[in-house]
Amino acid sequence: MSSSVIRYRTKPEAADENQRLIEKVFAELAETRPSGLAYTSHRLDDGVTFVHVVSGDGLPELSAFQEFQRGLADRMEAPLDREASTRLGSYAG
């Protein structure tokens, strides 16, 4: 399955807002439960770096994701890095 790994740094003052918007995406995902989509997000220990891994389709259609993306460029310290990847496996215990 084709995936994308996205990594970026936010401005320090925007990191908590970025996390809040990501949490809204996960809340909408829990409500709508779109099939064929795998999505994870991490905030690294430096507090300003975020990593997202997305496989499948459906994320751009979510209203919370659209809200997250609207101000993302203003929250970022530098351009994001997006790289295609192939998921080899996944485990959640």
CATH number, residue 21: 3.30.70.100
Residues 50-68, buried b or exposed e (16+ Cβ, 10 A)?
Answer: bebbbbeebbeebebbeeb
Cite the DSSP H helix spans in 1-93.
15-32, 63-70, 72-75
**Does residue 66 form part of some domain?**
yes
What is the count of structural domains for the chain?
1
Give the domain extent around 65.
Answer: 2-86
Residue-level pLDDT at 93: 74
The predicted structure's pLDDT at residue 58: 84
- Asked whether residue 59 is assigned to any structural domain, the reply reads yes
Residue 91 maps to a domain: no
**Is 64 within the bounds of a domain?**
yes
Query: Looking at the domain assignment, is residue 65 inside a domain?
Result: yes
Q: Which residues of the chain fall short of a pLDDT of 70?
A: 1
